Structure formats: structure tokens, C-alpha cells
A and B are shown apart, each in its own frame.
Chain A
């Protein structure tokens, strides 16, 4: 983990309120599910973003930024050649297993899953990425199946069965992930979810983003920023 100066390599609009930013930096190692935290002017704490792609040869990482407020507005208004400061790589990413995998992205949650899919493909691990968006203009490309409107979890049990899924990876709003955790429990299928919580230090020291897990009949505290953001969905106390 280090403090990096990155230069904007490209920035493009890919969906309503979403830009894709490619950043050139000295970062030379990271894995799917990990994130970076960016210094945004006039903000008291940094802003975290999942790594959506990493190109080792070109020394670039890609993030998708969806507009929310001042921090994301600043990032969306950056120009090619501008510099940003970020700390990376942060957190513990998805634990890749050689199992037939289903990747479920809700909205901007697709970002880390695209990076994960690339890694799974590289390792010849069979996978299927399904993503859901509220409307047509919000769709971010790259999935095997895209759902528009409704819930990305509709028919998910059928997909799990039909495709003989052994492992699920997911990212999206906590409400979707919580619902997914119930499906996972019911179907007894291992599910890794990447969570979001407001974080201050982004490296595990301030305990601002603590969540509770139920593990081995015990309630334990973990930080989303350092121990996560990826957790076993069945352990998370929602």
C-alpha cells in the first residue's frame, strides 16, 4: 500500500452519470475487489473506488465513477493529463477459486466484477457475468447478460441451477447483497460480496467502516476498508 501520483490517461462517458477513467501510475500490483482511495479537493476524507481493470504492461488502472456529489463531480471533470493522488491497492479482494462462477453486478457494482471476469477468463475458470441497471441509458457494457429494470436477482436461482453454479461473486448496493445472502444461504452456495461503507482512513486504523460478522458462533468486528471490502455473504450481519 502506497501513496501514488497518477496521471489521467483517458476519461470517457460510458453511461448516464458514469465516466470511465484510466490512470497511469507506478502501481504495479493489485487484484479484483481491491480499491483505491482518491484525494478530492475540499473534502475531509478520501473517496474510495473499485479497480475495474489493471493493465500491467501499460501501467494503468481503470475506475468507473458514478456521480454522487462533490467528490465524484471533481473526478468526472478531470482532463487527460491531469494528476490525482491516490492510495492503493487497498483492502482484500475476491478469493478466486477454480469453480464455476456466477458474477452478479448491480448498477455501478459491475466495476470490480469486470476486472474479476478478466482474471477468471485468464485462468480458464468458467464464469457468467450478469448485471442489472435501472434504465437503458445506465447500462455499462461487458456482461454476458444484462437486465434492465426490475431486480438483477429475479430468476437468479434458476440461473444457479441451470448453469450449475458453484460460487457467486457480487457487488452492488447493500440491499441487493443482503437479499442475495438469503438466496445463498437457502441454496447453500458460497457467495463473496464486495461491500460499501463510508470510510475515513481507508486502511483499517480508524474503525469508521466497521461491520459485524457472525463466524464460528461468535460476533466479530471487521473493517470494510482493510479486512474487506469482500466478505462471505453468509457471515455478514446485515
Chain B
């Protein structure tokens, strides 16, 4: 270990196959769907400390999302069934992109679609607009058509990523779903089709149930959606450890990240960067706070760079 006051948490995600890379000034990112399009969080978070923010999932057309209750809180997690309500790619390009550019916020565009053609068009538009990084959501459990369908079948995923790769030259991240018996073939498909990076995991299918006994009768409430938060961390740790057995491209971890120890645990199974999701709802500044805490830890313990810390955790 080397003691150095100019310690840095800069990190470069790099695909060893083709040299494609994405530079982050910090390995802490904000997860899709939990941070809007970033401008909403102005004044609450220190953007200088963030590696990037991942936009809310964008579809070709604007979507209204699901009707009814969309949020269900459980003991250690959150179930959501937003259903990809979003402004659509055109409004994103016209309204949000200029703000992100003007404020110089590093971002990753998260896209989702119902059909192969949706993803093809979205990746083409992203390329045309010089968007530096794309996260392909093939893992949303809350929409009727598409999306997760592509994320559960290795051959379908291969075809999808191949098509996107052909259109899109920037840094290509594929976001995998835990709603599968074996995540390894999916990770392999993504890599061999040309993905530069994998992010995992998206939410886990779950059912929130509330039963109350009131006025002599039982009232029941059911909310079916995707589970996130602290309770999914062990599942994500497992998934990432599996993914790392079969790919060489970098992996971004997400699932229940709340503190520095969570980061260390994810590093120990091979994560290269992190996305903070549900925790943003409680602590809007958590991602930038964690970046600062990570720097402090490294400073105190004599790590000069994030790479060195990673190596120490993995080999130590």
C-alpha cells in the first residue's frame, strides 16, 4: 500500500475485447428510475462526486405507466410497479439532453422497448445524438410486452444486443434481470454480442400483500411489481459472483446499496462500479456522500486509487 494524499476514485470501465471505455470520476452512479433525469436533484446532491447518473428508462414513445397503486413498502425493501412511465426519446432529446449537457452532468441513457425494432431505433437515435453511454434495460418486470422477455432468453438477448451494437458505437451496458434460474448464459450472450459492460441487477418479481381486519371483515391489498432495496443485496451479490465467472467485461453492481460496507462486499465479488437506487428515496445525497466516504476511507488507509483498493479487497 502506498500512502498518497492525492488519492482518487477515478475509474475507467473498459471492455478488453474492443478497447471501448467509459470514464467515471467516481465509481458511484445513480440508478435508473430513482433519480429522474438528474436536474430534479439539483441542490440536494453534489454532482461533482458522482460518476454518472442513469436516466429513467426511456422508450420510443412516451408512456403513461401503470394505473393504480405503484408503490408498496415492505420491511426491508420496496415493491414498485411504475410501468416505465417516461417522456419518450424525442422529449428526452429535446428537453432533458440540453440540460444535462449544459450542466455538464455525465449520464447513461437507459432504454427499454417492447420489440426488437424499438431497441434498434432507440440505439440509433442515441448514436446520432452522440450519447456516450447506453444502458439497455432487458429486465423490467412491470410492463406487459417486451423488455424482460429479451432478458430471459440467451439467444434472443444475443440477437438484441447484436442489433444494438451494430447501431451504437458508444459504451454499451446491458442491465440483467435476476428473474432467471441461471444468469450465466445471459451474461455470456450479452458479452459475445458485443456489450461493453453488464449492470446487475434490476428488480425482482414480488407481491406485496396487506391484510387488515377492520369492521369485522378482512381487507386485502395486493401490489405485484419489482422488489428493490436492502433485502435484494444478497441476491445481487450472488448474481454478480455468477456473472463474473463467465465474463471479462466490467460489471456495475446494484441492489440495496446504502453504505461503504455494501460497496466493499460488491467489490469482493468483482464489481467495478456501483449504482445506488432505492436508497436515494431516503437520502437524496447518498451517492455523493458515499463517494466522499470512499475517498475518506482510502485516504485514511493509504489507498492511492480505486484500482488499488479493488485489488486489495479481491486478493486480500
Residues of A that sit less than 8 Å from B by CB: 1-3, 39, 43-46, 87, 198-210, 212, 219, 221
- Give the residues in chain B near A199, CB-CB below 8 Å: 71
- Give the residues in chain B near A208, CB-CB below 8 Å: 70-71, 80, 82
Does B262 lie at the interface of the complex (its beta carbon under 8 Å from any beta carbon of A)? no
Contact B69 A200 (CB under 8 A): no
- Give the residues in chain A near B40, CB-CB below 8 Å: 203-205
Nearest CB of A to B300, in Å: 26
Nearest CB of B to A215, in Å: 14
- Give the residues in chain A near B72, CB-CB below 8 Å: 198
- Give the residues in chain A near B285, CB-CB below 8 Å: 3
Besides the known contacts A45-B78, A198-B70, A205-B56, 18 further A-B residue pairs in the complex with CB atoms under 8 A apart: A1-B43, A43-B73, A44-B229, A45-B71, A46-B282, A87-B44, A198-B69, A203-B41, A204-B40, A205-B35, A205-B37, A205-B40, A206-B82, A207-B56, A208-B71, A209-B70, A210-B82, A219-B64
Q: A3-B44, A221-B85 are in contact. Are A46 and B71 (CB under 8 A)?
A: no
Contact B73 A3 (CB under 8 A): no
Nearest CB of A to B159, in Å: 31
B41, B71, B77: the one contacting A205 at CB < 8 Å is B41
Nearest CB of A to B254, in Å: 15
Contact A206 B281 (CB under 8 A): yes
Distance, CA A201 to CA B41, complexed state (A): 11
- Give the residues in chain A near B67, CB-CB below 8 Å: 212
Contact B33 A206 (CB under 8 A): yes
Does B293 lie at the interface of the complex (its beta carbon under 8 Å from any beta carbon of A)? no
Distance, CA A49 to CA B275, complexed state (A): 29
Q: A208-B80, A209-B71 are in contact. Are A201 and B85 (CB under 8 A)?
A: no
Q: A3-B44, A44-B76, A45-B78 are in contact. Are A205 and B70 (CB under 8 A)?
A: no
| Cβ contacts A to B, 20 pairs, < 8 Å | A2-B44, A3-B44, A45-B282, A46-B281, A46-B282, A198-B71, A201-B36, A205-B37, A205-B56, A206-B33, A206-B71, A207-B56, A207-B65, A207-B70, A207-B85, A208-B71, A208-B80, A209-B70, A210-B82, A210-B85
- Give the residues in chain B near A212, CB-CB below 8 Å: 64, 67
- Give the residues in chain A near B78, CB-CB below 8 Å: 44-45, 200
When C-beta atoms are compared, the residue in chain A nearest to B229 turns out to be: A44
Does B20 lie at the interface of the complex (its beta carbon under 8 Å from any beta carbon of A)? no
Q: A45-B73, A198-B69, A201-B280 are in contact. Are A206 and B80 (CB under 8 A)?
A: yes
Distance, CA A210 to CA B43, complexed state (A): 24
A1, A3, A210: the one contacting B70 at CB < 8 Å is A210
Contact B34 A206 (CB under 8 A): yes
Distance, CA A6 to CA B195, complexed state (A): 47
Interface residues of B in 280-316 (CB under 8 A from A): 280-285
Does B123 lie at the interface of the complex (its beta carbon under 8 Å from any beta carbon of A)? no
Does B278 lie at the interface of the complex (its beta carbon under 8 Å from any beta carbon of A)? yes
Contact B284 A44 (CB under 8 A): no
When C-beta atoms are compared, the residue in chain A nearest to B34 turns out to be: A206
Does B74 lie at the interface of the complex (its beta carbon under 8 Å from any beta carbon of A)? yes
Nearest CB of B to A18, in Å: 20
- Give the residues in chain A near B76, CB-CB below 8 Å: 44
- Give the residues in chain B near A221, CB-CB below 8 Å: 64-65, 85
Q: A1-B44, A43-B73, A44-B278 are in contact. Are A200 and B36 (CB under 8 A)?
A: no
